[in-house]
Amino acid sequence: MYRSQKLAVKYLAAAITLFGVMVIAGLMSAYYYINPDFLFGILHFNIAKILHIDTLVIWLLMGFMGAIYWFLPEEMGREPVGIWLAEILFYVFCAAVAIVAVVFIVVQYGSSNEIALWFINQGRKYVEAPRWAALGVVAVMGVFGYNVIGTVVATRRLTGIMAVLMIDLIPLVALYLDAFPAVTNMSEDLFWWWWLVHLWVEATWEVLIGCIMAFTLMQLLGTSRRIVETWLYIEVALVLGTGILGLGHHYFWIGTPNYWLGIGGFFSALEPLPLLGMVVHAVYDAGTHHMKTANRPALYWMMAEAFGNFLGGGVWGFMITLPQINLYAHGTQWTVSHGHFAFWGAYACGVISVAYLIVQKVRGMEQVGGALWRWSFAALNLGLIGMVGALLVAGMTQSFVERATGGSTLQAFIAGQQDPWFVSGMMLRFLFGLVFAAGYGFLVYDLLTLGRRRGVVTAATVSP
Protein backbone atom coordinates (compact mmCIF):
# COMPACT_ATOMS: atom_id res chain seq x y z
CA MET A 1 0.00 0.00 0.00
CA TYR A 2 1.24 3.49 -0.87
CA ARG A 3 1.88 6.04 1.89
CA SER A 4 -0.77 8.17 0.25
CA GLN A 5 -3.29 5.36 0.74
CA LYS A 6 -2.37 5.03 4.41
CA LEU A 7 -3.01 8.76 4.67
CA ALA A 8 -6.34 8.23 2.88
CA VAL A 9 -7.41 5.74 5.55
CA LYS A 10 -6.55 8.30 8.25
CA TYR A 11 -8.51 11.01 6.45
CA LEU A 12 -11.53 8.76 6.10
CA ALA A 13 -11.33 7.73 9.77
CA ALA A 14 -11.22 11.42 10.74
CA ALA A 15 -14.11 12.15 8.36
CA ILE A 16 -16.32 9.43 9.83
CA THR A 17 -15.45 10.62 13.36
CA LEU A 18 -16.44 14.19 12.49
CA PHE A 19 -19.60 12.80 10.88
CA GLY A 20 -20.43 11.53 14.40
CA VAL A 21 -19.74 14.95 15.95
CA MET A 22 -22.03 16.45 13.31
CA VAL A 23 -24.78 13.97 14.23
CA ILE A 24 -24.49 14.75 17.97
CA ALA A 25 -24.46 18.52 17.39
CA GLY A 26 -27.41 18.09 15.01
CA LEU A 27 -29.39 16.17 17.62
CA MET A 28 -28.64 18.89 20.14
CA SER A 29 -29.71 21.60 17.70
CA ALA A 30 -32.94 19.69 17.01
CA TYR A 31 -33.61 19.26 20.74
CA TYR A 32 -33.35 23.02 21.40
CA TYR A 33 -36.51 23.45 19.30
CA ILE A 34 -38.37 21.05 21.59
CA ASN A 35 -36.87 22.29 24.86
CA PRO A 36 -35.49 25.83 24.46
CA ASP A 37 -34.15 25.74 28.06
CA PHE A 38 -31.77 22.92 27.20
CA LEU A 39 -28.25 23.75 28.48
CA PHE A 40 -29.45 27.29 29.17
CA GLY A 41 -26.53 29.55 30.01
CA ILE A 42 -24.02 26.79 29.26
CA LEU A 43 -24.16 26.04 25.56
CA HIS A 44 -26.44 28.04 23.34
CA PHE A 45 -28.29 26.86 20.25
CA ASN A 46 -26.06 28.93 17.96
CA ILE A 47 -22.93 27.09 19.11
CA ALA A 48 -24.51 23.66 18.59
CA LYS A 49 -25.62 24.80 15.14
CA ILE A 50 -22.14 26.11 14.31
CA LEU A 51 -20.65 22.76 15.33
CA HIS A 52 -23.27 20.95 13.26
CA ILE A 53 -22.71 22.82 10.00
CA ASP A 54 -18.96 23.34 10.31
CA THR A 55 -18.33 19.66 10.99
CA LEU A 56 -20.54 18.90 7.98
CA VAL A 57 -18.19 20.90 5.76
CA ILE A 58 -15.04 19.49 7.31
CA TRP A 59 -16.06 15.82 7.35
CA LEU A 60 -17.07 15.95 3.71
CA LEU A 61 -13.87 17.79 2.78
CA MET A 62 -11.78 15.23 4.65
CA GLY A 63 -13.75 12.45 2.97
CA PHE A 64 -13.04 13.92 -0.47
CA MET A 65 -9.35 14.35 0.33
CA GLY A 66 -9.16 10.80 1.66
CA ALA A 67 -10.75 9.49 -1.52
CA ILE A 68 -8.34 11.41 -3.75
CA TYR A 69 -5.31 10.35 -1.69
CA TRP A 70 -6.50 6.76 -2.15
CA PHE A 71 -7.04 6.88 -5.90
CA LEU A 72 -4.17 9.23 -6.84
CA PRO A 73 -1.19 6.82 -6.57
CA GLU A 74 -3.12 4.08 -8.38
CA GLU A 75 -4.02 6.50 -11.16
CA MET A 76 -0.49 7.89 -11.52
CA GLY A 77 1.40 4.70 -10.65
CA ARG A 78 3.60 6.38 -8.08
CA GLU A 79 3.64 7.95 -4.65
CA PRO A 80 2.27 11.51 -4.81
CA VAL A 81 4.84 14.30 -4.77
CA GLY A 82 5.33 15.83 -1.32
CA ILE A 83 3.30 13.20 0.50
CA TRP A 84 5.40 13.74 3.64
CA LEU A 85 4.07 17.29 3.84
CA ALA A 86 0.49 16.05 3.51
CA GLU A 87 1.12 13.52 6.30
CA ILE A 88 2.27 16.29 8.64
CA LEU A 89 -0.56 18.58 7.67
CA PHE A 90 -3.12 15.86 8.37
CA TYR A 91 -2.23 16.02 12.07
CA VAL A 92 -2.12 19.82 11.96
CA PHE A 93 -5.59 19.79 10.36
CA CYS A 94 -7.01 17.44 13.00
CA ALA A 95 -5.43 19.43 15.86
CA ALA A 96 -6.79 22.69 14.41
CA VAL A 97 -10.30 21.23 14.12
CA ALA A 98 -10.14 20.02 17.74
CA ILE A 99 -8.84 23.38 19.05
CA VAL A 100 -11.48 25.33 17.12
CA ALA A 101 -14.22 23.04 18.47
CA VAL A 102 -12.98 23.52 22.05
CA VAL A 103 -12.86 27.31 21.56
CA PHE A 104 -16.41 27.28 20.15
CA ILE A 105 -17.68 25.24 23.09
CA VAL A 106 -15.73 26.96 25.90
CA VAL A 107 -15.13 30.56 24.74
CA GLN A 108 -18.09 30.67 22.30
CA TYR A 109 -17.84 34.32 21.17
CA GLY A 110 -15.79 37.46 21.71
CA SER A 111 -16.07 41.17 21.19
CA SER A 112 -16.39 42.67 17.73
CA ASN A 113 -12.66 43.15 17.28
CA GLU A 114 -9.68 41.72 15.45
CA ILE A 115 -8.75 39.38 18.32
CA ALA A 116 -12.13 37.66 18.12
CA LEU A 117 -11.80 37.36 14.32
CA TRP A 118 -8.35 35.85 14.58
CA PHE A 119 -8.79 33.57 17.57
CA ILE A 120 -12.46 32.91 18.39
CA ASN A 121 -15.00 33.16 15.61
CA GLN A 122 -15.20 34.90 12.21
CA GLY A 123 -18.97 35.02 12.57
CA ARG A 124 -19.72 34.02 8.99
CA LYS A 125 -21.94 30.97 8.58
CA TYR A 126 -20.15 27.77 7.44
CA VAL A 127 -16.76 29.49 7.83
CA GLU A 128 -16.96 30.51 11.48
CA ALA A 129 -13.50 29.05 12.15
CA PRO A 130 -11.18 31.84 13.35
CA ARG A 131 -8.67 33.20 10.87
CA TRP A 132 -5.68 31.26 12.12
CA ALA A 133 -7.60 28.04 11.48
CA ALA A 134 -8.87 29.30 8.13
CA LEU A 135 -5.25 29.96 7.14
CA GLY A 136 -4.55 26.37 8.18
CA VAL A 137 -7.30 25.15 5.86
CA VAL A 138 -5.73 27.17 3.01
CA ALA A 139 -2.35 25.55 3.77
CA VAL A 140 -3.89 22.06 3.82
CA MET A 141 -5.77 22.67 0.57
CA GLY A 142 -2.65 24.22 -0.98
CA VAL A 143 -0.58 21.13 -0.16
CA PHE A 144 -3.41 18.91 -1.40
CA GLY A 145 -3.31 20.80 -4.70
CA TYR A 146 0.46 20.53 -4.80
CA ASN A 147 0.27 16.75 -4.21
CA VAL A 148 -2.16 16.28 -7.08
CA ILE A 149 -0.73 18.72 -9.64
CA GLY A 150 2.90 17.99 -8.71
CA THR A 151 2.35 14.27 -9.20
CA VAL A 152 0.82 14.77 -12.64
CA VAL A 153 3.75 17.03 -13.60
CA ALA A 154 6.30 14.54 -12.23
CA THR A 155 4.82 11.56 -14.10
CA ARG A 156 4.26 13.61 -17.27
CA ARG A 157 1.02 11.70 -17.76
CA LEU A 158 -2.37 13.31 -17.79
CA THR A 159 -5.59 11.30 -17.75
CA GLY A 160 -9.00 12.83 -18.38
CA ILE A 161 -10.10 12.52 -14.76
CA MET A 162 -6.86 14.06 -13.51
CA ALA A 163 -7.23 16.98 -15.94
CA VAL A 164 -10.72 17.71 -14.60
CA LEU A 165 -9.51 17.31 -11.02
CA MET A 166 -6.54 19.65 -11.53
CA ILE A 167 -8.69 22.35 -13.10
CA ASP A 168 -11.16 21.98 -10.25
CA LEU A 169 -8.53 22.36 -7.55
CA ILE A 170 -7.70 25.91 -8.61
CA PRO A 171 -11.13 27.41 -7.82
CA LEU A 172 -11.47 25.05 -4.86
CA VAL A 173 -8.46 26.66 -3.18
CA ALA A 174 -8.99 30.16 -4.55
CA LEU A 175 -12.64 30.39 -3.49
CA TYR A 176 -11.77 29.54 0.08
CA LEU A 177 -9.83 32.82 0.26
CA ASP A 178 -13.29 34.38 0.30
CA ALA A 179 -13.56 33.21 3.91
CA PHE A 180 -11.30 36.02 5.10
CA PRO A 181 -12.65 39.47 4.27
CA ALA A 182 -14.50 41.22 7.09
CA VAL A 183 -16.66 43.59 5.02
CA THR A 184 -18.97 45.74 7.10
CA ASN A 185 -21.48 46.30 4.28
CA MET A 186 -23.84 43.35 4.75
CA SER A 187 -24.95 43.13 1.11
CA GLU A 188 -21.40 43.26 -0.18
CA ASP A 189 -20.24 40.75 2.41
CA LEU A 190 -23.02 38.27 1.53
CA PHE A 191 -22.44 38.79 -2.19
CA TRP A 192 -18.89 37.48 -1.94
CA TRP A 193 -19.58 35.01 0.86
CA TRP A 194 -22.01 33.17 -1.42
CA TRP A 195 -19.19 32.75 -3.95
CA LEU A 196 -17.49 30.62 -1.35
CA VAL A 197 -20.52 28.74 -0.08
CA HIS A 198 -22.48 28.22 -3.29
CA LEU A 199 -19.60 27.85 -5.74
CA TRP A 200 -17.86 25.38 -3.45
CA VAL A 201 -20.97 23.30 -2.93
CA GLU A 202 -22.70 23.55 -6.31
CA ALA A 203 -19.66 23.84 -8.54
CA THR A 204 -16.22 22.76 -7.28
CA TRP A 205 -17.49 20.05 -4.92
CA GLU A 206 -19.79 18.69 -7.63
CA VAL A 207 -16.80 18.31 -9.94
CA LEU A 208 -14.68 16.80 -7.16
CA ILE A 209 -17.31 14.18 -6.28
CA GLY A 210 -17.75 13.56 -10.02
CA CYS A 211 -14.03 12.67 -10.27
CA ILE A 212 -14.23 10.52 -7.14
CA MET A 213 -17.29 8.67 -8.46
CA ALA A 214 -15.50 8.15 -11.80
CA PHE A 215 -12.61 6.43 -9.98
CA THR A 216 -15.07 4.47 -7.84
CA LEU A 217 -17.07 3.28 -10.86
CA MET A 218 -13.92 1.94 -12.51
CA GLN A 219 -12.98 -0.03 -9.40
CA LEU A 220 -16.44 -1.08 -8.31
CA LEU A 221 -18.02 -2.10 -11.60
CA GLY A 222 -14.98 -2.30 -13.83
CA THR A 223 -16.39 0.39 -16.13
CA SER A 224 -13.91 1.37 -18.81
CA ARG A 225 -11.96 4.62 -18.48
CA ARG A 226 -13.24 5.94 -21.78
CA ILE A 227 -16.84 5.63 -20.63
CA VAL A 228 -16.39 7.26 -17.23
CA GLU A 229 -14.32 10.07 -18.69
CA THR A 230 -16.89 10.79 -21.42
CA TRP A 231 -19.67 10.96 -18.85
CA LEU A 232 -17.56 12.96 -16.45
CA TYR A 233 -17.09 15.65 -19.12
CA ILE A 234 -20.80 15.70 -19.98
CA GLU A 235 -22.05 15.74 -16.41
CA VAL A 236 -19.51 18.29 -15.26
CA ALA A 237 -20.43 20.57 -18.18
CA LEU A 238 -24.15 20.27 -17.41
CA VAL A 239 -23.75 20.70 -13.65
CA LEU A 240 -21.45 23.70 -14.06
CA GLY A 241 -23.64 25.16 -16.80
CA THR A 242 -26.62 25.29 -14.48
CA GLY A 243 -24.84 25.52 -11.13
CA ILE A 244 -22.53 28.52 -11.58
CA LEU A 245 -25.23 31.07 -12.37
CA GLY A 246 -27.61 29.18 -10.10
CA LEU A 247 -25.64 31.21 -7.56
CA GLY A 248 -28.24 33.87 -8.30
CA HIS A 249 -30.87 32.12 -6.17
CA HIS A 250 -28.89 33.25 -3.12
CA TYR A 251 -28.92 36.86 -4.36
CA PHE A 252 -32.68 37.32 -4.28
CA TRP A 253 -32.98 39.09 -0.94
CA ILE A 254 -29.55 40.43 0.02
CA GLY A 255 -29.74 43.84 -1.65
CA THR A 256 -28.40 42.93 -5.09
CA PRO A 257 -29.92 44.32 -8.34
CA ASN A 258 -33.27 42.96 -9.57
CA TYR A 259 -31.81 41.14 -12.56
CA TRP A 260 -30.56 38.45 -10.19
CA LEU A 261 -34.18 37.37 -9.69
CA GLY A 262 -34.35 36.34 -13.34
CA ILE A 263 -30.84 34.93 -13.61
CA GLY A 264 -31.03 32.98 -10.34
CA GLY A 265 -34.52 31.63 -11.01
CA PHE A 266 -33.74 30.63 -14.61
CA PHE A 267 -30.49 28.75 -13.98
CA SER A 268 -31.75 27.14 -10.78
CA ALA A 269 -34.82 25.91 -12.65
CA LEU A 270 -32.47 24.11 -15.08
CA GLU A 271 -30.62 22.30 -12.28
CA PRO A 272 -32.95 19.25 -12.15
CA LEU A 273 -32.23 18.43 -15.82
CA PRO A 274 -28.70 16.97 -15.43
CA LEU A 275 -29.85 15.23 -12.24
CA LEU A 276 -32.53 13.42 -14.27
CA GLY A 277 -29.80 12.19 -16.60
CA MET A 278 -27.85 10.95 -13.59
CA VAL A 279 -30.83 8.86 -12.41
CA VAL A 280 -31.00 7.16 -15.83
CA HIS A 281 -27.23 6.67 -15.76
CA ALA A 282 -27.36 5.07 -12.29
CA VAL A 283 -30.08 2.62 -13.37
CA TYR A 284 -28.09 1.74 -16.48
CA ASP A 285 -24.85 1.12 -14.57
CA ALA A 286 -26.47 -0.94 -11.85
CA GLY A 287 -28.78 -2.77 -14.23
CA THR A 288 -26.22 -3.83 -16.81
CA HIS A 289 -24.21 -5.36 -13.99
CA HIS A 290 -27.39 -6.91 -12.48
CA MET A 291 -26.45 -5.22 -9.18
CA LYS A 292 -23.61 -7.75 -8.99
CA THR A 293 -20.43 -6.49 -7.44
CA ALA A 294 -17.91 -7.62 -4.88
CA ASN A 295 -18.89 -4.67 -2.71
CA ARG A 296 -22.66 -4.31 -2.36
CA PRO A 297 -22.61 -1.58 0.29
CA ALA A 298 -20.46 0.65 -1.92
CA LEU A 299 -22.78 0.09 -4.90
CA TYR A 300 -25.93 0.75 -2.87
CA TRP A 301 -24.47 3.95 -1.42
CA MET A 302 -23.48 5.05 -4.90
CA MET A 303 -27.04 4.45 -6.10
CA ALA A 304 -28.32 6.36 -3.05
CA GLU A 305 -26.11 9.23 -4.14
CA ALA A 306 -27.76 9.49 -7.58
CA PHE A 307 -31.31 9.26 -6.24
CA GLY A 308 -30.63 11.41 -3.18
CA ASN A 309 -29.08 14.10 -5.35
CA PHE A 310 -32.13 14.11 -7.62
CA LEU A 311 -34.62 14.22 -4.75
CA GLY A 312 -32.73 16.57 -2.43
CA GLY A 313 -31.29 18.91 -5.03
CA GLY A 314 -33.83 18.50 -7.82
CA VAL A 315 -37.26 18.01 -6.24
CA TRP A 316 -36.73 19.78 -2.91
CA GLY A 317 -34.71 22.57 -4.51
CA PHE A 318 -37.16 23.19 -7.36
CA MET A 319 -40.02 23.72 -4.92
CA ILE A 320 -38.44 26.86 -3.52
CA THR A 321 -36.16 28.12 -6.25
CA LEU A 322 -38.42 30.53 -8.17
CA PRO A 323 -38.10 34.01 -6.62
CA GLN A 324 -41.85 34.55 -6.17
CA ILE A 325 -42.03 31.41 -4.03
CA ASN A 326 -38.64 31.81 -2.41
CA LEU A 327 -39.83 35.14 -1.00
CA TYR A 328 -41.99 33.13 1.44
CA ALA A 329 -39.87 30.02 1.87
CA HIS A 330 -36.29 31.24 2.30
CA GLY A 331 -34.80 31.00 5.74
CA THR A 332 -37.55 28.66 6.97
CA GLN A 333 -37.23 24.99 7.88
CA TRP A 334 -38.24 24.33 4.25
CA THR A 335 -34.78 25.52 3.21
CA VAL A 336 -33.25 23.45 6.01
CA SER A 337 -35.10 20.40 4.67
CA HIS A 338 -33.68 21.01 1.17
CA GLY A 339 -30.17 21.58 2.57
CA HIS A 340 -30.18 18.32 4.54
CA PHE A 341 -31.48 16.23 1.65
CA ALA A 342 -29.20 17.81 -0.98
CA PHE A 343 -25.98 17.50 1.07
CA TRP A 344 -26.85 13.93 1.95
CA GLY A 345 -27.61 12.91 -1.63
CA ALA A 346 -24.93 14.86 -3.40
CA TYR A 347 -21.98 14.20 -1.11
CA ALA A 348 -22.43 12.14 2.07
CA CYS A 349 -23.63 8.99 0.28
CA GLY A 350 -20.64 9.21 -2.09
CA VAL A 351 -18.12 9.47 0.75
CA ILE A 352 -19.69 6.47 2.53
CA SER A 353 -19.51 4.52 -0.74
CA VAL A 354 -15.78 5.27 -1.02
CA ALA A 355 -15.27 4.34 2.65
CA TYR A 356 -16.68 0.84 1.97
CA LEU A 357 -14.51 0.50 -1.11
CA ILE A 358 -11.36 1.42 0.81
CA VAL A 359 -12.19 -0.85 3.76
CA GLN A 360 -12.55 -3.73 1.32
CA LYS A 361 -9.12 -3.06 -0.21
CA VAL A 362 -7.36 -2.40 3.09
CA ARG A 363 -8.63 -5.62 4.68
CA GLY A 364 -8.16 -7.65 1.50
CA MET A 365 -11.76 -8.84 1.37
CA GLU A 366 -12.94 -10.57 -1.78
CA GLN A 367 -16.56 -9.77 -1.00
CA VAL A 368 -18.20 -7.23 1.25
CA GLY A 369 -21.61 -8.13 2.58
CA GLY A 370 -23.35 -9.19 5.77
CA ALA A 371 -26.48 -7.78 7.39
CA LEU A 372 -25.13 -4.82 9.32
CA TRP A 373 -24.55 -2.54 6.34
CA ARG A 374 -28.21 -3.05 5.38
CA TRP A 375 -29.31 -1.92 8.85
CA SER A 376 -27.02 1.06 8.60
CA PHE A 377 -28.19 1.88 5.06
CA ALA A 378 -31.84 1.55 6.05
CA ALA A 379 -31.61 3.50 9.32
CA LEU A 380 -29.52 6.33 7.88
CA ASN A 381 -31.78 6.78 4.85
CA LEU A 382 -35.02 6.30 6.78
CA GLY A 383 -33.81 8.74 9.44
CA LEU A 384 -32.77 11.26 6.81
CA ILE A 385 -36.02 11.00 4.82
CA GLY A 386 -38.01 11.23 8.05
CA MET A 387 -36.05 14.31 9.09
CA VAL A 388 -36.43 16.11 5.78
CA GLY A 389 -40.13 15.20 5.66
CA ALA A 390 -40.69 16.59 9.16
CA LEU A 391 -38.68 19.71 8.36
CA LEU A 392 -40.70 20.16 5.18
CA VAL A 393 -43.95 20.14 7.18
CA ALA A 394 -42.49 22.57 9.74
CA GLY A 395 -41.11 24.83 7.00
CA MET A 396 -44.35 24.88 5.04
CA THR A 397 -46.15 25.84 8.23
CA GLN A 398 -43.73 28.71 8.74
CA SER A 399 -44.15 29.83 5.12
CA PHE A 400 -47.95 29.71 5.28
CA VAL A 401 -48.55 30.99 8.82
CA GLU A 402 -45.64 33.35 9.42
CA ARG A 403 -44.88 34.64 5.92
CA ALA A 404 -47.89 34.31 3.61
CA THR A 405 -50.80 35.00 5.97
CA GLY A 406 -48.99 36.68 8.89
CA GLY A 407 -46.93 39.13 6.85
CA SER A 408 -43.57 38.29 8.51
CA THR A 409 -44.25 40.29 11.68
CA LEU A 410 -42.83 39.28 15.06
CA GLN A 411 -46.30 38.21 16.13
CA ALA A 412 -46.60 36.09 12.98
CA PHE A 413 -43.20 34.54 13.75
CA ILE A 414 -44.41 33.54 17.22
CA ALA A 415 -47.68 32.21 15.77
CA GLY A 416 -45.67 30.13 13.30
CA GLN A 417 -43.40 28.75 16.02
CA GLN A 418 -46.41 27.78 18.16
CA ASP A 419 -48.43 26.23 15.37
CA PRO A 420 -49.12 22.54 16.14
CA TRP A 421 -47.86 21.51 12.69
CA PHE A 422 -44.57 23.27 13.30
CA VAL A 423 -44.21 21.83 16.81
CA SER A 424 -45.05 18.30 15.62
CA GLY A 425 -42.64 18.69 12.71
CA MET A 426 -39.79 19.63 15.02
CA MET A 427 -40.60 16.75 17.39
CA LEU A 428 -40.64 14.29 14.51
CA ARG A 429 -37.37 15.72 13.19
CA PHE A 430 -35.72 14.93 16.52
CA LEU A 431 -37.15 11.39 16.62
CA PHE A 432 -36.00 10.65 13.09
CA GLY A 433 -32.67 12.21 14.06
CA LEU A 434 -32.36 9.45 16.65
CA VAL A 435 -33.03 6.85 13.95
CA PHE A 436 -30.32 8.50 11.84
CA ALA A 437 -27.93 8.42 14.83
CA ALA A 438 -28.62 4.70 15.26
CA GLY A 439 -27.79 4.22 11.58
CA TYR A 440 -24.53 6.08 12.13
CA GLY A 441 -23.74 3.71 15.01
CA PHE A 442 -24.33 0.69 12.77
CA LEU A 443 -22.18 2.27 10.05
CA VAL A 444 -19.22 2.86 12.36
CA TYR A 445 -19.45 -0.63 13.86
CA ASP A 446 -19.70 -2.16 10.40
CA LEU A 447 -16.72 -0.23 9.02
CA LEU A 448 -14.62 -1.04 12.07
CA THR A 449 -15.37 -4.75 12.11
CA LEU A 450 -15.86 -5.66 8.44
CA GLY A 451 -13.67 -8.61 7.58
CA ARG A 452 -13.00 -9.20 11.25
CA ARG A 453 -16.42 -10.49 12.30
CA ARG A 454 -17.28 -14.13 11.92
CA GLY A 455 -20.19 -14.63 9.58
CA VAL A 456 -19.66 -11.58 7.42
CA VAL A 457 -17.32 -13.26 4.99
CA THR A 458 -19.50 -16.37 4.92
CA ALA A 459 -22.62 -14.36 4.29
CA ALA A 460 -20.91 -12.33 1.62
CA THR A 461 -19.61 -15.40 -0.13
CA VAL A 462 -23.03 -17.03 -0.20
CA SER A 463 -24.85 -13.89 -1.30
CA PRO A 464 -22.68 -11.65 -3.46
Q: Is 166 exposed, middle or buried (0-12, 13-18, 19+ CB in 10 A)?
A: middle
Residues of this chain, 212-241, that bind other proteins according to CB under 8 A: 224-227, 230-231
Alpha helices, H only, 363-455 = 372-397, 410-418, 420-449
Spatial contact of 63 and 12, defined as CB atoms under 8 Å apart? yes
**Window contacting other proteins (CB under 8 A); options: 249-257, 284-292, 417-425, 436-444:** 284-292
Q: What track of x and - describes contact with other proteins for positions 395 through 424 (by CB under 8 A)? A: -x--xx--xxx-------------------
Out of 315, 415, 427, 431, the only residue in the binding site for other proteins (CB under 8 A) is: 315
Rounded distance between C-alpha atoms, residue 463 and residue 16, angstroms: 27
Nearer to other proteins (CB atom), residue 109 or residue 400: 400
Question: Contact between 66 and other proteins (CB under 8 A)?
Answer: no
Closest to other proteins by CB, 213 or 351: 213
- Kindly identify the residues of this chain, within the stretch 153-212, that bind other proteins according to CB under 8 A: none
SS3 368: strand
Is-contact 279 355, C-beta < 8 A?
no
- Residue 460, number of CB atoms within 10 A of its CB: 21
Nearest distance from C-beta of residue 353 to other proteins, angstroms: 20
SS3 377: helix
Q: How far apart are CA 356 and CA 66, in angstroms?
A: 12
Site stretch for other proteins (CB under 8 A), options 55-63, 113-121, 131-139, 392-400 = 392-400
Q: Compute the radius of gyration of the chain from its Cα atoms.
A: 22
Q: Is 261 helix (H, G, I), strand (E, B) or coil?
A: helix
Rounded to 5 degrees, φ, ψ at 289 are -100, 5
- Please compute, for residue 278, the number of CA atoms within 13 A of its CA located in the half-sphere on the CB side: 30
Which lies closer to other proteins via its Cβ, residue 246 or residue 439?
246
**CA angle, 350 then 352 then 354, to 5°:** 70
Give residue 72's identity as a one-letter amino acid code: L
- What's the closest the beta carbon of residue 319 comes to other proteins, in angstroms? 4
- On whether the CB atoms of residues 199 and 247 are closer than 8 A, the answer is yes
Do the Cβ atoms of 267 and 318 come closer than 8 Å? Answer: no
Beta carbons within 8 Å of 324's beta carbon, 6+ residues apart: none
The window from 50-58, 68-76, 244-252, 324-332 that contacts other proteins (CB under 8 A) reads: 324-332
Give the H or E element holding residue 132: helix 131-155
Site membership for other proteins, residue 246 (CB under 8 A): no
Nearest approach in angstroms of CB 268 to other proteins is 11
Q: Which is nearer to other proteins, 2 or 341 (CB)?
A: 341
In this chain, which stretch among 93-101, 262-270, 412-420, 447-455 interacts with other proteins, using CB under 8 A? 262-270
Using CB under 8 A, which of 107, 174, 325, 459 touches other proteins?
325
Using CA atoms, how far residue 451 sits from 270, 351, 376, 442, in Å, is 44, 20, 17, 15
- Range in contact with other proteins (rule: CB under 8 A) among 43-51, 169-177, 261-269, 370-378: 261-269
Q: What angle do CA 188, 192, 193 make, to 5 degrees?
A: 110
Of 66-74, 188-196, 265-273, 293-301, the window that binds other proteins (rule: CB under 8 A) is 265-273
Q: Tell me the closest approach of the beta carbon of residue 13 to other proteins, in angstroms.
A: 34
Binding region for other proteins (CB under 8 A) out of 77-85, 136-144, 188-196, 267-275 = 267-275
- 295 binding other proteins? (CB under 8 A): no
Give 278 or 357: the residue with its C-beta nearer to other proteins. Answer: 278
Contacts of 169 (CB under 8 A, 6+ apart): 144, 145, 148, 149
Residue 287 engages other proteins in binding (rule: CB under 8 A): yes
**Does 324 engage in binding with other proteins (CB under 8 A)?**
yes
Q: How far is the CB of 315 from other proteins (least distance, A)?
A: 5
When asked if residue 269 is in the footprint of other proteins (CB under 8 A), the reply is yes
Instruction: Indicate whether 311 belongs to the interface with other proteins (CB under 8 A).
Output: yes
Within a 10 A sphere around the Cβ of 288, how many other Cβ atoms?
10
Binding segment toward other proteins, per CB under 8 A, in 158-166, 250-258, 312-320, 343-351: 312-320
Interface residue with other proteins, options 158, 182, 183, 280 (CB under 8 A): 280
Residues binding other proteins: what is the number (CB under 8 A)? 42
The site for other proteins (CB under 8 A) is made up of 224-227, 230-231, 262, 265-266, 269-270, 272-273, 276-277, 279-281, 283-284, 287-288, 310-311, 314-316, 318-320, 322, 324-325, 327-329, 396, 399-400, 403-405
